[in-house]
Structure 1
Amino acid sequence: MVLNNVTIPENDAAVSISISEGKITQVAPSIADDREQLTFVDAIAFPGLINSHDHLDFNLFPQFGNKIYDSYTEWGKHIHKAYADEIASVLKIPITLREHWGVYKNLLCGVTTVVNHGEKTTITDPLITIFENCQNIHSVQFEKNWKKRLNHPLKISQPVVIHTGEGTNAEAHTEIDELIKWNLFKRKLIGIHGVAMDAQQAKHFKALVWCPESNYFLLNKTATIDQLKTKTRILFGTDSTLTGYWDIWYHIRLARKTKMLTDHELYHSLTSLPAQTWKLNTGSITAGLDADIVIAKANRKPGLQAFYNVTPDDILLVMHKGEILLFDESLYHQLTGMLTQNYSKVFTGTHFKYVQGNIHELIAEIKRYKPDADFPVPYPVQPAA
């Protein structure tokens, strides 16, 4: 397949992208090829987004919390008292259904890789890449045996991913020091949140996953990314809907408003840097890499400006390893005869999208357990095409 007439952020010249056997084979101004062609008008192409922090099974929760907290420990204790019934109503939904919805939440926004924090998922054939080749430890405060797990001799080769410094009080800051102190084997630490982290502490981390929307919701403060970025690699994450809005583009624009990363740095925190950190064969529109590609309307905006204006409604195509997972109704006639999978039709605001799999059946099954479960795509919707 060849994707024609798209621009890539940071390079506004129109190009064509050739894809074969799940990989990008050529990027050039034009490509002579007798394979299937898709031609776009006023569109940008960028690597499938990499969401470096989510809890896939927690994305049927609304945001819980009604005040500003000093730390995640204060928040955690409060919600289990104040929202006990609401929490129980979500947890009675089978975990596989919750995880599948977590995948769709990400896919609808153009995420093709999500780093899941928690137990290994139960999904056997996910639509997108679920990265779990790491050791997940929740946190110093909430994981009783964190020191033993951190220093497990058989896990040394894996990076450790852990919530750390998620607070504005002294305890949140000192727990980072405790984590560093007890990392006896000097394992690669990838911290999450790091709101209380300083530059000296950041030097001990391979990377920090920044989740600004979650931080502002809980703490009314986020990490000093403009300082920490000089000492460690900054990746981008959303966290789950327990503390953040479902749409990653909302998070991205909030991060951009802080001006703590440049437009180029923020773009790469979602693409090339997490690809390097998690050792993925993606993160760039480059020959030889996996064809994880998103194409969206540019709306007559140049490169990165167009990128930061994207909404789920603007997405025209999502491809994962060369397979089309989502496409806009405007491409339906061009794709006739090319598609081999079944797709569901969903409404994203002003346009219909076709999404691989039976999302209607998934939503209906979830509503059997929780009839008031809320979804960002209207339900019921038109039947699958």
Structure 2
Amino acid sequence: MDMHARPDTLLLAAGWWSGSGVARGALAIHRDRMAPAAWTTALRIDLRDHLVFPALVNAHDHLHVNAVPPLRTGAPFPNSYAWIDAFQAHFAEPSVVAALAQPKALRLRHGALKNLLAGTTCVVHHDPWHPSLDESDFPVALLRDFEWSYALAGPNYGPPVRASFAATPPQRPWMIHLAEGTDATARAELAELDRLGCLAANSVLVHGVGLAPRDVERVIAAGAAVVWCPGSNRALLGRTLDPRRLCHAGRLLLGSDSRLSGERDLLEELRLALDRYGLTPTQLLGLVTRDAARILRLAGRGRLSPGAHADLLVVEDRGGDPVRSLLGLARSDIRAVVRDGLPRIADPDFADWFAAFGIDTVPVTLDGRPKLIDRRLADDALLALEPGLAADAMAGARVLAAAGAHG
């Protein structure tokens, strides 16, 4: 690593995912954007034994409830409204009361950190906006230019459906939970949405488990899209939708939902979907990169071409199918997560990378593996909310001892 280079430009020698295969050579970052690999003076990092992928886009989460204990039940619910009704008694559980007593700003930040640890740097938060989401050091980027309603029925929560849709410019996404169930109520929701005049090319429907094949064709014909959350669907409803037709039509995204019902994170969703639903590894990766960026109008995300956001993840090249290898990883296997051109969490041997950009770090363990994390993301209260993440006191002691030995 050349430590005498300009600090605003980074040149990675790596294999990197081009969208259709692995390209090898120089991958350049200038400030917070990908750049042509033409810089003669740059901080150079040798990643020749690694692969670089675009960071992931999570198309559905409720960031502020990821530390709330889920409702345990032995039988699937017919629809999400029945689950919401059952959850009301769960609010009285001491563990739920304690989780919700945490400041909302902290809980939102925790949900964002959960995503970042798994290589996700952009998230759709399907809930009311909160001032803390605008903080300059918020862990992830968020979809901002969109409108939403919660659902057609159920709780009186969020903007009214017709008014929210009518207020949404056609170039912006409009999102709603829809057909989240297996019963007649869920199966009737697409027709009702269409009757209300709210099925259009910018409609993004979350879950869609109750969509019949003819409904899927109506979604595609309208130019709308569906956010698939298989982990959440299986946990609440006992099954999920068949994603193949929507995927082949380019009208499918992937979301993790929150841990109230979904898997731990988006990387876990990808790992569990691999070889299970008839989609290839490359199609699955597309759902959380280029397809998500296209459908959600996220210009400059989901790719590594010049001008794109410099959000990426670095993994070891283990040979074989690179995408399959990525989708089979645990979050602790990711070598580095980069957002806005800066490392945010990485393995300890990348300490010089942090230092070159003046980023103070804290040693932590992630699922038992040592990592370095940007100090701005390492508040004690925040670390305490995330299972598997903890400050590494022994690593800190080693650093202090080494500093004393050289003092």
The two structures have a TM-score, normalised by structure 2, of: 0.84
Using the alignment, how far apart are the partners of 2:263 and 2:256 within structure 1?
A: 8
* C-alpha distance 375-92 of structure 1, shift in aligned 2 (>3 A): same
- Residue in structure 1 matched with residue 116 of structure 2 by the alignment: 107
Using the alignment, how far apart are the partners of 1:3 and 1:24 within structure 2?
A: 11
- Residue in structure 1 matched with residue 286 of structure 2 by the alignment: 268
User: Aligned to 1:252, which of 270, 280, 296?
Assistant: 270
Secondary structure of the residue aligned to 1:158 is: coil
Which AA in structure 1 matches 2:24?
Answer: A
- Residue in structure 2 matched with residue 182 of structure 1 by the alignment: 196
Shift of 1:153: 4.2
- Residue in structure 1 matched with residue 360 of structure 2 by the alignment: 342
Using the alignment, how far apart are the partners of 2:85 and 2:246 within structure 1?
A: 29
Which structure has the higher relative contact order (CA within 8 Å, separation 6+)?
1
Residue 212 (1) aligns with residue 223 (2): no
User: Aligned to 1:91, which of 100, 109, 119?
Assistant: 100
Q: Deviations over 1:305-353 (max 9, x none)?
A: 2222222111112212212222211222x42640322222221235322
| Maintained 8 Å contact 1:156/1:187 | yes
User: Aligned to 1:173, which of 187, 198, 210?
Assistant: 187
* C-alpha distance 154-25 of structure 1, shift in aligned 2 (>3 A): closer
Shift of 1:275: 1.0
Residue 35 (1) aligns with residue 49 (2): no
| Maintained 8 Å contact 1:329/1:351 | no
| Maintained 8 Å contact 1:166/1:195 | yes
Shift of 1:127: 2.8
Using the alignment, how far apart are the partners of 1:143 and 1:191 within structure 2?
A: 18
Shift of 1:235: 0.6
Q: Deviations over 1:54-78 (max 9, x none)?
A: 1111111233231211110111111
* C-alpha distance 320-362 of structure 1, shift in aligned 2 (>3 A): same
Shift of 1:133: 1.7
Secondary structure of the residue aligned to 1:14 is: strand
Q: Which has the larger displacement, 74-83 or 167-176?
A: 74-83
The two structures have a TM-score, normalised by structure 1, of: 0.89
- Residue in structure 1 matched with residue 53 of structure 2 by the alignment: 46
Using the alignment, how far apart are the partners of 2:194 and 2:278 within structure 1?
A: 25
User: Aligned to 2:333, which of 314, 332, 344?
Assistant: 314
| Maintained 8 Å contact 1:191/1:205 | no
Which AA in structure 1 matches 2:151?
Answer: S
Q: Deviations over 1:262-286 (max 9, x none)?
A: 2221111010011112222121111
* C-alpha distance 55-20 of structure 1, shift in aligned 2 (>3 A): same
User: Aligned to 1:120, which of 129, 138, 142?
Assistant: 129
| Maintained 8 Å contact 2:200/2:223 | no
User: Considering only aligned residues, what root-mean-square deviation do their CA atoms show, in Å?
Assistant: 2.5
| Structure 2 unaligned spans of 5+ | 1-9, 400-407
| Structure 1 unaligned spans of 5+ | 368-372
Shift of 1:383: 7.3
Which AA in structure 2 matches 1:22?
Answer: D
| Maintained 8 Å contact 1:206/1:232 | no
Using the alignment, how far apart are the partners of 2:272 and 2:354 within structure 1?
A: 38
Which AA in structure 2 matches 1:134?
Answer: F
Question: How many residues get paired?
Answer: 375
- Residue in structure 1 matched with residue 12 of structure 2 by the alignment: 3
Shift of 1:114: 0.6
User: Aligned to 1:375, which of 372, 375, 387?
Assistant: 387
Shift of 1:116: 0.7
Runs of 4+ in 1 over 6 A off after TM superposition: none
Secondary structure of the residue aligned to 1:69 is: coil
Residue 200 (1) aligns with residue 217 (2): yes
Residue 69 (1) aligns with residue 77 (2): yes
1:323-334 correspondence runs (5 A): 323-332=342-351, 334=352
* C-alpha distance 151-294 of structure 1, shift in aligned 2 (>3 A): closer
Q: Deviations over 1:208-240 (max 9, x none)?
A: 111111111111100121233355611111000
Q: Which has the larger displacement, 183-192 or 218-227?
A: 183-192
Using the alignment, how far apart are the partners of 2:394 and 2:154 within structure 1?
A: 44
* C-alpha distance 201-383 of structure 1, shift in aligned 2 (>3 A): farther
- Residue in structure 1 matched with residue 148 of structure 2 by the alignment: 136
Using the alignment, how far apart are the partners of 1:185 and 1:247 within structure 2?
A: 29
Residue 160 (1) aligns with residue 174 (2): yes
| Maintained 8 Å contact 1:63/1:244 | no
* Identity of matched residues, %: 22
| Maintained 8 Å contact 2:172/2:297 | no
* C-alpha distance 262-69 of structure 1, shift in aligned 2 (>3 A): same
Q: Deviations over 1:117-153 (max 9, x none)?
A: 1011332222321113211211111354634434444
| Maintained 8 Å contact 1:205/1:232 | no
